Amino acid sequence: MTRTLLVIGASGQLGQCVARGAVGQGWRVVGTFHRAPLETLPIDWRELDLTDVRMVEALIADIPPDAVVNAALQMTQPWIWPVNAGGAAAVALATARIGARLIHISSDAIFDGEQSPYTEADDPSPITVYGGSKAAAETAVRAIMPAAAVIRTSLLIADDPLDKHSRMALDIAQGLRPEKLFTDEFRCPIAAIDLAAAILELIDLPVTGILNVVGADAVSRYELGQLVTRRHGLDPNALLPATLAASGLHRPADIRLDISRATALLKTRLRGVREFLGDNGTF
C-alpha cells in the first residue's frame, strides 16, 4: 500500500528536495504552498496558511498522512513568530491527533555562537528574532509530540534552483551587489539533497528528539563564497572580505554543529561543502 507524505513548505528550497526524493521512493506526496505551487513537481498541491490553526487541522485530518515533514520557515516580520513558532505548534498538534510520524526542521540560528561546536544536549541561546522563533518551535514540538524528530540544520546549498547564499556570492562577484562576506562567521553548509535524503531516512528510524544534521565542514561565509564562485567559473578574488565583529550586526558568529550522533545513526553521508562544491563535486 502506498504511503502518504505531507511536506509543509514544499515550494521552498528544502521542501522541493524532500518532495522530489519522496516521489522517487514511491510515496504519494502532498505538498503545501502559501504563495504559489511549484508546478514542475508532480505532487498533490494544497494551499496552507500556517497561522490559521483550523486550516492546519483540517488539512492534516483530510489527507491524512503517514508522515509529516515541516520544512516551512519565515524570516520576514511580522510573520516570523506566527509561522515559525505558532505554525510549528499547530502542525504538531494536528499530527499528534492522527498518530503520524513528524519530522520538524529547526536551525543553527537558535544559538548565540559563544560555545561552538554545539551538540544535541546544548540548550538554545538565541540572539535574533528568527532564532528565538525557531527555539520556541522546538519547545512546542517536543512538548506536544515527544516522539517527533527535530532536525537542527544550517545553510542549504543547491544548484536547481540555485540557493540564496550561492546567488548572493555570484551577484557580488559580478558586481551586482555591494556586500562583503565575513571571514569570522562560521557555518556548516549542507547540500539540500543530502539533508532531504537524511530526512526521508529518518521517517522510518526510531529517532526522537534533537538531531544535528549539517555538512561535515565548517567554513566562513567568505570561504563559502569563494567555493561557490569557483564552482560557477567566476573569479573568487572579486569577493571582498570583511568581519562580522566590525560590521555592527548582532547575529551569531560561530554556530558549528556536532554531527557525531547523526553520522552514527544515518546511512546518508553528510558531505562537507568543500566536497560537493569542489572541482569534482556533484549534487
Note whether residue 91 is domain-resident.
Answer: yes
Note whether residue 241 is domain-resident.
Answer: yes
Note whether residue 148 is domain-resident.
Answer: yes
Whether residue 136 sits in one domain with residue 73: yes
Distance CA 68, CA 4 (A): 9
Question: So what's the pLDDT on residue 5?
Answer: 98
Please, are residues 141 and 88 in contact by the beta-carbon 8 Å criterion? yes
Distance CA 64, CA 264 (A): 32
Whether residue 151 sits in one domain with residue 25: yes
Whether residue 98 sits in one domain with residue 18: yes
Note whether residue 142 is domain-resident.
Answer: yes
Note whether residue 263 is domain-resident.
Answer: no
Whether residue 206 sits in one domain with residue 67: yes
Whether residue 224 sits in one domain with residue 120: no
The range of the structural domain enclosing residue 238 comes to 159-187+217-257+271-276
Please, are residues 258 and 118 in contact by the beta-carbon 8 Å criterion? yes
Question: So what's the pLDDT on residue 40?
Answer: 86
CA torsion, points 221, 83, 49, 201, in degrees to nearest 10? 60
Please, are residues 70 and 103 in contact by the beta-carbon 8 Å criterion? yes
The domain spanning residue 115 has which CATH number? 3.40.50.720
- Ordered mean pLDDT values, 10 residues apiece, the chain (283 residues): 96 96 98 88 96 98 98 95 98 98 98 97 98 98 98 95 96 96 98 98 98 98 97 96 95 98 98 89 75
Question: So what's the pLDDT on residue 280?
Answer: 66
Note whether residue 262 is domain-resident.
Answer: no
Q: How many domains does the chain have?
A: 2
Question: So what's the pLDDT on residue 35?
Answer: 84
Note whether residue 85 is domain-resident.
Answer: yes
